[in-house]
A and B are shown apart, each in its own frame.
Chain A
Amino acid sequence: MSDWRYRLAEQRGTLLAAALFLVMFVIYVSNHPAGFTSNVVQTAANKGVLLALVAMAQTMVVLTAGIDLSVGMIFIFTNCLASYIVTGSTPTAVLGLVGVLIAGLACGVINGLIVIYGRLQPIVTTIATGSIFYGIALWLRPQPGSSDNFNSDIADWMTGKLPGGIPTSLVTLLVVVLVIWVPFRRSEIGRAVYATGSSEVAAYMSGVAIRRAKMAAYSLSGLLSAMGGLYVTFITYSGEASFANGGTYTLYSIAAVVLGGVSLFGGVGSAIGAIFGALAFRTIGDLLFVFDLEPLWQPLFQGVVLLLAVCVGAARLFQVRNRLDLFA
């Protein structure tokens, strides 16, 4: 296998993100008062998986050279919806769970339809649809709250530990990767997504099914955001239509995607990189806690880390061979 260098180069972003996460996590755990126990890992995993799912959602759209600024609002909307319909006995709760996922998928399909057939720019479209999704969330939950017969058994199981102390949330994330991402990446439509992101015109000329690729990307983005929304409901048992939270998750999903080596110009990167980017970003926030810093400084610290990360990660300046390439 003489092409290992190219294969490595292709995965460079993902590997860097994984390394960054490992370093951060080792620092975090070794300074944590409780040390490396399964409870510490479980808490970290539950928080990390939330962002990882939303970051995966963002990756799908970013790969097509678009951007989805509504992921945070779909997340909030599905959170509010789940707090109503994941109720009662286990079968009805599972039915509700499926309903939430379908609602998220529908949000993604709406985005896709407007971007593909309306031919509007993704950024403006998703800002506007985000406003709609947030409006619906606010209609469902004007005040934060939960249903009386919310099925907390499923919630506890999904956020708990499997035998052996492995957090269920991490296993769920692994299943999502294996069931959704890996087949998608290897399918014809997944390739079409990468082709569309690299150069839409070239992809069109080669007969790639651009519309189908974009539709798949946007609808999967909605579906994955809904999974994030479900998970936050499992953790909090309640729904909250918080505009600030929606905005934060959208922002963090973009940060995670960039940290994970996914190019915002499209066509480069993988959802696995974005997952590690999300986990690393979460751990950076948690580091402040173990180092006992003033909580008031946390937003500034996260902001500065984000700024430095993007300056290093996204600066194309150091790879340019010709001044004209700057403006490509």
Chain B
Amino acid sequence: MSERTASLTSRLPAALRRLDPAVATAFGCIIVLLLLGSLYSPEFLSPAYLLQQLKVASFLGVIATGMMIVILLGQIDLSVPWVVAVGGMMACAAAAHGETGMILAIPFGILCGVALGFVNGIGVAYLRIPSMIITLAVNAVAQGLMVAYTGGFSPQDSASTAMRFIATSEIVFGVPMALIVWAVIGAGAVFLFTRTTYGRAIYAIGNRERAAYLSGIDTQRVVMFAFAISGGLSAFGGVLLAGYASKAAQAMGDAYLLPSIAAVVLGGTSILGGRGSYLGTVAGVILITLLQSILSVMQMAEFGRQVIYGVVIIAMLLLYGRERLLR
């Protein structure tokens, strides 16, 4: 079986051969979705609609970038929902404090997320608590902090002009600013993964932490900073979302945990860590966003969306995300 695929792939051109089958499948599915959508309404192929989708995708894209770093380590970050909310709420809270607050709103929101990420990271890396538990606990603490801070209602502070600018404005040719932000963060992630020792260390730890430790990598510090980056990116996603809606809200991050994990995994990154490319995550993010958009354009009821969503994720993973048979 493997010999046959090997001879098959050797006949393909070099560029195609290097392409991960998972990434190729994900991009294939995007095209299929767009074609199916265009049968329903030709609007689906218009540049305005596609740019609008990319703008919506960039919020998920920023959050999924952080999730991908953590998943590459073989860990998971379940604190996304309330770290997103903390980012949005704290940025808006800072924006309420006059001129300096307006300037510091975005960095302050991100910094709060980084702080929570460090708590996750210290727990996972140094206390060796399973990431699933500590991030759930930090999620609960973040929720508790925000409920106590806001009194259980959505805060009245609104987003600063800078937050609105990066989330909603458009620059030349109608390219949304949010997409530029995602592109910059994505480029940073690609650079981190492929051109830095830190990036190589992440892949090494994801494959086998013991081996990485024995080859002289300070694995604990790498893991801790990875969670801090993930927290910061989640909070930045929250800042963008708050800028988009011009205010923060309770539970604004709830809709981002499952999609961010799904986007990373659908993009071919192994949930066990050590394998995956950022291009795949981009494909996963666009795929999830398109799926959500098409289901809502078809006026599918919420229950149907939930069911189809789950079925699609399982079906796609069955196509290319299966583990090897134990033997």
Asked whether A120 and B317 contact (CB < 8 A) given A243-B254, A315-B129, the answer is yes
Q: Is residue B306 within 8 Å, beta carbon to beta carbon, of the partner chain?
A: yes
Looking at the complex, which of B137-145, B156-164, B224-232 is the stretch in contact with chain A?
Answer: B137-145
Q: Is residue A152 within 8 Å, beta carbon to beta carbon, of the partner chain?
A: no
Identify B141's interface contact among A128, A300, A324, CB under 8 A.
A300
Asked whether A124 and B317 contact (CB < 8 A) given A303-B140, A307-B138, the answer is yes
The answer for the CA separation of A140 and B322 in the assembled complex, in Å, is 32
Q: Is residue A131 within 8 Å, beta carbon to beta carbon, of the partner chain?
A: yes
Within 8 Å CB of B136, what residues of A? Answer: 251, 254-255, 306
Asked whether A138 and B306 contact (CB < 8 A) given A118-B322, A128-B313, the answer is yes
The answer for the CA separation of A133 and B214 in the assembled complex, in Å, is 44
**Residue of B with least CB distance to A67:** B132
CB distance from B142 to the nearest CB of A (A): 8
Asked whether A297 and B144 contact (CB < 8 A) given A129-B314, A136-B303, the answer is yes
**Residue of A with least CB distance to B212:** A327
Q: Is the CB of A310 within 8 A of B129?
A: yes
Q: Is the CB of B141 within 8 A of A303?
A: yes
| Interface-central residue, A128, A244, A310, by most chain B CB under 10 Å | A128
Within 8 Å CB of A121, what residues of B? Answer: 271-272, 323
Q: Is residue A26 within 8 Å, beta carbon to beta carbon, of the partner chain?
A: no
Per-residue CB contact flags for chain B residues 112-152 toward chain A (1 = under 8 Å, else 0) read 00000000000100111110111011111111110110011
Q: Is the CB of B302 within 8 A of A299?
A: no
Q: Which residues of B219-262 are within 8 A (CB) of A?
A: 219, 251, 254, 258, 261-262
Q: Is the CB of A135 within 8 A of B130?
A: no
The answer for the CA separation of A251 and B152 in the assembled complex, in Å, is 20
Tell me whether chain B's interface is mostly helix, strand or loop, or mixed: helix
**Residue of A with least CB distance to B82:** A303
Within 8 Å CB of B142, what residues of A? Answer: 303
Tell me whether chain A's interface is mostly helix, strand or loop, or mixed: helix
Q: Is residue B17 within 8 Å, beta carbon to beta carbon, of the partner chain?
A: no
Within 8 Å CB of A264, what residues of B? Answer: 130, 132-133
Q: Is the CB of A139 within 8 A of B137?
A: no
Q: Is the CB of B254 within 8 A of A300?
A: no
Q: Is residue B304 within 8 Å, beta carbon to beta carbon, of the partner chain?
A: yes
Q: Is the CB of B127 within 8 A of A317?
A: yes
The answer for the CA separation of A300 and B322 in the assembled complex, in Å, is 39
Q: Is the CB of A296 within 8 A of B145?
A: no
Q: Is the CB of A326 within 8 A of B141?
A: no
CB distance from A282 to the nearest CB of B (A): 15
Asked whether A299 and B306 contact (CB < 8 A) given A307-B138, A311-B127, the answer is no
Q: Is the CB of A307 within 8 A of B261?
A: no
Q: Is residue A95 within 8 Å, beta carbon to beta carbon, of the partner chain?
A: no
Within 8 Å CB of B133, what residues of A? Answer: 254, 258, 264, 310, 314
Identify A296's interface contact among B151, B324, B326, CB under 8 A.
B151
Q: Is the CB of A128 within 8 A of B144?
A: no
Q: B residues touching A (Cβ–Cβ < 8 Å)? A: 76, 123, 126-130, 132-134, 136-145, 147-148, 151-152, 209-210, 213-214, 219, 251, 254, 258, 261-262, 265, 271-272, 301-311, 313-314, 317-318, 321-326
The 3 closest A-B pairs by CB, nearest first: A300-B144, A135-B306, A303-B140
